[in-house]
Amino acid sequence: MATTPFWKKMLLRGNTTALSLILALLSIFSVLFLYYTQNSFLEAFEEKTYDLRFKVLRGPLEPDPNIAIITIDDKSIAALGRYPWSRDNYARLIDRLAAAEAKAVMFDVFFPERENAKNDQLFAAATKRAGNVVLAVAFNFDKEGRVTTITRTLPEIERGAIGVGHINQMPDDDGVIRRIPLLLGAEGQQIFSLGLVAAKLALDEKNITPGDFEIVLGERRIPVDEEYRMWLNFVGGPGAYPYYSFIDVVSGRVPAKELKGKMLFVGATALGVYDMRVTPFHKNTPGVELHATVADNIISQRYIRQGGMEALIDMAFIVLMGALAYYLTTRLRLYGAIPATAVLLAGYVWFTYYMFDAGQWINMIYPTMSAIVAVLVGGGFRYLVLERDAREMRSMFSSYLSPKLVARLEKDPDAAKIGGDNKEVTVLFTDIKGFTTFSESHPPQEVVSRLNGYLGAMVQVIEQHDGTIDKFIGDGIMAYWGAPLAQPDHARLAIDCIKAINKRMGELREQWHAEGLEPFTIRGGIQSGEVVAGNVGLAGKKMEYTVIGDTVNQAARLEGTAKYYGVAYLVGEDTYQRTREVCRYRELDKIRVVGKHLPVTIYEPLEGLSMLDESTARDFEAALGMYRARSWEKASAAFKAVLAVAPEDKPSKIYVERCEYFMQNPPAEGWDGVFNRAEK
């Protein structure tokens, strides 16, 4: 006799609580393992929460009033000429700032090449005279992160400076700068960052001492990671610190009292200089502001800490949040546990923001994930074991609905109800030209075989473009985009689909021709708009998911109207408005279909879907303008000119006939240019 598996015994005994507890504990420890291994995918999300806390939750802070930026901006470039500038301009700047008694001048610019002896000497002399200038150093790295070279200012200039600071800014994998290395070393050299050197000068400290996960500056202990990177506590977006234009300072237009005693960072803010960085606050932040932020954080001791203490707090909350969420699933049904867990998570997010505001980065993603997984595991187990109606529903629908819809119903069983909801969709109807004649003149077996081959190819194309095939209507197809799952670009998907259908039909015609078979040609109608989408039928007997409404009717009538105009596809006004940026059209007519009072404008897509090229289509549109202006003779001549280029263009033939008719029978004064379709 076969042995009953352990898990089945537990179910048979009704011991569902013990098994759900085991699953919940496994889920919590799985999240702990991911946290311990620093899963790169989840870490990327956590970094985004770092950005969110700055920009959305906390907002800007008041910057240190003694930090300002001298900008190499567009105004200065316009005055001094193309950048980089001659070094005598920098000498003038340093002399101005020295006269104004600035605390220090920090250059986020370096001068590695010689200009000429005169200007180089002017700059070096001004640097030495001022006695408060710090110059930039840049480390260059290879793909493996190893230092290849170090770029410095010319030695004779650098000797006059009171120090140097590196200006390297290393973005995270997503391109956002969230931290800056305060210390870099290579070739026996260790160089502190420009912002750290600025803080040292501002605080009148003598020594900087690197330690384990900290850098000591006087009595300040700056938290860093193992690579001496400090998380930036951004005070705001671009312009958070006062800006003084380089040319205004050099020209003496900035009062000396505004510069006195300040830490002045000199750097580029002009977009053309390409020294822009992505930060949590803004995608185009001048790099010089990041150095100012480092100095500000150290001077004000506004750090963001993410060390051992924070890691312990993170792990404690991973366990606590998972346990609380599991507890909710044991006391509430799934639909009650979910909102209760949402409230719990909202409280935790507030707590992480509170701690962040206090300078501690507590992880948001992993504890949240622990709670969510616990709800899914605990609640999902109860759902599978105790709520059997949902499984029966899946069984009923999976026999005829698409996998996408079945997946949705698993998450939202209430969606499986008679009736539906309003959705914005794009509907496509296609039909084979002359299929009735073909079917009457060929054996039934050949008709079915050819039809199956054609329909199979169309199904593949439509599904490749994320469409839902509603039904086959003889040789016709009804498909739609935007339901049951929302698709914001449903109209574009439909237009891309008919382009692909046109290409596939060309391949099929070549194949049929090679096999000596009569080829098919199709036409179609497309319209976008609101429909009612949902299950219709008799519950428990026969139901199907479909879309109904005026948009569906319009698409069907546009397919039929395409035959009248002799074109492959007709597109309604709503689809045209949604896709005119991605597809070229020609306007064909304004028509009023049977049963409708309001006229609709119809369009033919070009780009390989029409016999007209773009130039001829423009001529057609010009002729159409004459027609609507009641210039019948000019319009007739213009349409005939189109026919001279495209003799088979049926719309032009139709308009020639209308023009000739209106020449003999002018319409009434209130004529609106609308053609009334007498057929569906």
Average the pLDDT over 71-80 and give the result.
91
Averaged pLDDT of the chain? 85
What residue spans in the chain does CATH classification 3.30.70.1230 cover? 417-610
> At residue 336, does pLDDT exceed 70?
yes
470: enclosing H helix or E strand: strand 468-473
Contact 68, 244 (CB under 8 A): yes
Predicted confidence (pLDDT) per residue in 134-154, tens digit = 999 998 888 887 888 888 899
Q: Which amino acid is at 97?
A: L
Average pLDDT of the residues in 346-370: 88
Confidence of residue 412 (pLDDT cuts 50, 70, 90): low
601 Cα distance to chain centroid: 33
* Residue range 509-532: mean pLDDT, rounded: 90
Indicate if the pLDDT at residue 360 is higher than 70.
yes
Residue type, 482: G
Across 563-577, average pLDDT: 93
Task: Among 3.90.1660.10, 3.30.70.1230, 3.40.50.150, 1.10.3720.10, name the CATH number for the domain at 417-610.
Answer: 3.30.70.1230
Asked if the model's pLDDT at residue 678 lies above 70, the reply is: no
- pLDDT over 50 (residue 397): no
Q: What would the mean pLDDT of 610-625 be, rounded to a whole number?
A: 89
Beta carbons of 19 and 381 less than 8 angstroms apart: yes
The listed range with the strongest mean pLDDT (37-41, 364-368, 607-611) is 364-368
- Among 247-251, 362-366, 384-388, 485-489, the least confident range: 384-388
Residue 665 burial (CB count, 10 A): 7
Question: Is 425's pLDDT higher than 50?
Answer: yes
pLDDT of residue 607: 80
pLDDT of residue 404: 57
What is the rounded CA–CA span in Å between residue 361 and residue 365? 12
* Tens digit of each residue's pLDDT (9 = 90 or more) over 155-183: 999 999 999 999 998 888 888 898 899 99
Tell me what the mean pLDDT of segment 545-551 comes to. 87
CB of 247 within 8 A of CB of 92?
no
**Position 594 pLDDT exceeds 80:** no
**What b/e sequence results for 324-348 when a residue is b if at least 16 CB atoms lie within 10 Å of its CB, and e otherwise?**
bbbebbeebebeebbebbeebbeeb
For residue 223, what are the contacts with CB-CB under 8 A and spacing of at least 6?
Answer: 213, 214, 230, 231, 303, 304, 305, 306, 307
Q: Check residue 25 and give its pLDDT.
A: 82
Confidence (pLDDT) at 14:
45
Question: How much is the average pLDDT of 186-207?
Answer: 89
Closest CA to 272 of 71, 113, 137, 89: 71
Q: How many CB atoms lie within 10 A of CB 633?
A: 11
- Is pLDDT larger for residue 109 or for residue 598? 109
φ/ψ (deg, to 5) at 676: -90, 115
DSSP code per residue over 230-249: EE-----STTSS-EEEHHHH
Residue type, 53: R
Q: Predicted confidence band at 60 (pLDDT cuts at 50, 70, 90)? A: confident
Q: How far from the centroid of its chain's Cα atoms is residue 206's Cα? A: 48
**Mean pLDDT of the 402-412 span:** 55
φ and ψ at residue 549, rounded to 5 degrees: 140, 180
**Which of 349, 356, 264, 371 has its CA nearest to residue 305?**
356
Q: 186 pairs with which residues across the strands?
A: 189
| 404 vs 625: which has the higher pLDDT | 625
Interval 535-554 mean pLDDT: 79
Residues 284-303, mean pLDDT to the nearest whole number: 92
